[in-house]
Amino acid sequence: MNQESDKQTDGQTEGQYAFPSVFSLDGKLALITGGGSGIGFDIARCMVAAGARVVITGRREQPLQEAIAMLGEKAYYMVNDVTERARLDELVNNIETTYGPIDILVNNAGVNMKKPALEVTDEDFDRIVHTNLNSLFSLTRSCARRMIDRGRGSIIMISSMAAYYGIDRVAAYAASKSGVEGMVKVLASEFSGRGVRVNAIAPGFIETAMSKTAMGGDPERFDRAMRRTPMGKFGKPQDIGWAAVFLASEAACYVTGASLPVDGGNSIGF
């Protein structure tokens, strides 16, 4: 790279690095699925704090209404079930017509199911994979077509430790999240040369309704999770939110195809 093009590097102005604005999401529009609660809500919160406008989606209207009341005037919602794959193009079109081009897609909506593998029915398995993987692909394709036409965009998938190592009783969930991890690499290799970065965040154990259900009444599972988490505690939804802000921002302009663990060290714990 020559000196001239060095000067044009994102996040750098003449002679000075543009801190903290290189982390700013000012002027960006983010679509966050499942943004009415849990991790998705805090991703929305952090992105609004970083200057973005956000559209949050989910199946239930009431939590979405409560969420935008807390998020303020830069937040909007649309009721949408990601599993209705044939309607996702329409969702994206509605959002872009109403609010403008989507710069950031966060595929956060997801469902979990804890059951011994031998008891998982085909219907159980299909339901989890359909929500967490198949629908995520359809929505990503719809957004990515438009992002690639515009030559810019950032796509973030919310993965899981279940894609990193063997957690018992989550066969379908682990299969879906492992699929997401594979997809990140493929999509990053196809899209990154056309201005669209694709990354994942792999949360460790984060305090939400989902983890409460997974750990509730199972102190042995809770202890096992904490024993292999060097920081010795659950994370908070905003820990994922700030990582998402970073990945969506110009500060991460050379980061693509990555899966970032935000896990208190859980993935490397002994």
Q: Which residues belong to the active site?
A: 173
**Contact status: 36 vs ligand NDP (CB under 6 A):** yes
**Contact status: 261 vs ligand NDP (CB under 6 A):** no
**Contact status: 140 vs ligand NDP (CB under 6 A):** no
**Contact status: 179 vs ligand NDP (CB under 6 A):** no
Site string for ligand NDP, 38-77 (x = CB under 6 A): xxx----------------xxxx--x--------------
* C-beta of 111 vs 129, nearer to ligand NDP: 111
* C-beta of 82 vs 260, nearer to ligand NDP: 82
Site string for ligand NDP, 190-209 (x = CB under 6 A): -------------x-xx-xx
> 3-class secondary structure for the chain?
CCHHHHHCCCCEECCEECCCHHHCCCCCEEEEECCCCHHHHHHHHHHHHCCCEEEEEECCHHHHHHHHHHHCCCEEEEECCCCCHHHHHHHHHHHHHHHCCCCEEEECCCCCCCCCHHHCCHHHHHHHHHHHHHHHHHHHHHHHHHHHHHCCEEEEEECCHHHCCCCCCCHHHHHHHHHHHHHHHHHHHHHHHHCEEEEEEEECCECCHHHHHHHCCCHHHHHHHHHCCCCCCCECHHHHHHHHHHHHCHHHCCCCCCEEEECCCHHHCC
The least CB distance from residue 111 to ligand NDP, in Å, is: 5
**Contact status: 226 vs ligand NDP (CB under 6 A):** no
The least CB distance from residue 13 to ligand NDP, in Å, is: 36
Binding site for ligand NDP (CB under 6 A): 33-34, 36-40, 57-60, 63, 80-83, 108-112, 131, 158, 160, 203, 205-206, 208-211
